[in-house]
A and B are shown apart, each in its own frame.
Chain A
């Protein structure tokens, strides 16, 4: 993936806030319960279904319900871990020599960008809205010289602290 240079030390690994994956967890939770809701909805008296249809549904559920539901849960289980991997393998490594931006996009696309502290021109912290303010996460914009694009650290934990750390490390690297 990437190798640390000689004398390079890992200072901090910055990841996205866990709240970012909460909507996905909520959707998977709802999808996991959906077959149960559909079943109870169909057999309830809420719909005027024929008795034969209800018997077919009940015989399917008693015969194959557990099998089908466990496969459904297994599918959701795998989807959850695929999404979680996508979330967890997006990170930024702050070392004493440079910042490494690792971006995972799906399974087989990975982008690794690194830039030294001499390239950093400015760092802006953006905290938008009540949730980001309350849970202390936000977006860091790192403007760099010599790169086609700015480095953006989205939904970072404690962005102010990360900014301070980067600036402090930048000062220390200049002193060396």
Chain B
């Protein structure tokens, strides 16, 4: 599926495919996930008082995020 920007009355015309848009979206989301993961891990490690609950939380969070990103990546193709 292709998208065009003709309707925007820009001095130039852009054509981009649905696949390119999905790739772009995927990398934006993956980047944001990485940033939020770093912030979360920083808080858990610095302020969590070494709690065992947080160690399990880290694992659950990482596995969940990785699985969802992997599914998104596989469904791109």
Which A residues have a C-beta under 8 Å from some C-beta of B?
A: 1, 13, 63-64, 66-67, 70-71, 73-75, 77-78, 81-82, 84-85, 88-89, 102, 104, 107, 110
Contacts and interface: CB of A to CB of B under 8 A. Distances in A.
Interface residues of B, number: 29
B17 to A, nearest CB: 12
Main SS of chain A's interface residues? helix
B52 interface: no
Main SS of chain B's interface residues? helix
Contacts of A73: 68
A107 B46 CA distance: 12
B71 A70 contact: yes
A33 to B, nearest CB: 16
B71 A13 contact: no
Given A81-B61, A107-B39, A74 B47 contact: no
